[in-house]
């Protein structure tokens, strides 16, 4: 007597990976932290960059809690503030370099 025929299906992907996952919003925490630390290292400009770090942490918290809309909202705010802070820091570095060059050229 033959055993009954049973079909065995082997999934090609691990469970939970069949559908494309929703894109996770970015939180920009590392960028914010870099801006804050560099801002304080230069000339206390870190206080201007601190709100970007706050919004980045809020975005990460929302992402962990599953609130993707809140994470996107805070992530966008953090991104805009980080762009502004980065531009301010580049301008501050340029001013400091110009001041050093002028000072050195006048002393020699």
pLDDT band at 16 (very low <50, low <70, confident <90, very high): low
Of the chain, the percentage scoring pLDDT greater than 90 comes to: 61
Tokens, residue 83: 């762009």
pLDDT band at 22 (very low <50, low <70, confident <90, very high): low
pLDDT at 102: 95
DSSP of 54-79:
HHHHHHHHHHHHT-HHHHHHHHHHHH
pLDDT at 24: 87
User: For 77, left (φ over 0), alpha (ψ -120 to 50), or beta?
Assistant: alpha
Enclosing H/E stretch for 93? helix 68-107
Rg (CA), the chain: 25
Query: How deeply is 67 buried, as exposed, middle or buried, from its count of CB atoms within 10 A (0-12, 13-18, 19+)?
Result: middle
Task: Average the pLDDT over 69-89 and give the result.
Answer: 95
Domain boundaries, the chain: 29-107
């Amino acid at each position: 007597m033959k055993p009954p025929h049973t079909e065995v299906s082997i999934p090609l992907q691990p469970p939970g990976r069949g559908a494309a996952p929703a894109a996770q919003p970015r939180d920009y925490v590392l960028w914010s932290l870099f801006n804050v630390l560099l801002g304080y290292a230069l000339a206390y400009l870190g206080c201007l960059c601190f709100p970007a770090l706050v919004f980045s942490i809020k975005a990460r918290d929302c992402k962990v809690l599953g609130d993707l809309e809140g994470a996107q909202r805070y992530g966008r705010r953090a991104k805009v503030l980080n762009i502004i802070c980065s531009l301010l820091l580049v301008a501050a570095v340029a001013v400091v370099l110009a001041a050093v060059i002028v000072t050195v050229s006048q002393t020699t």
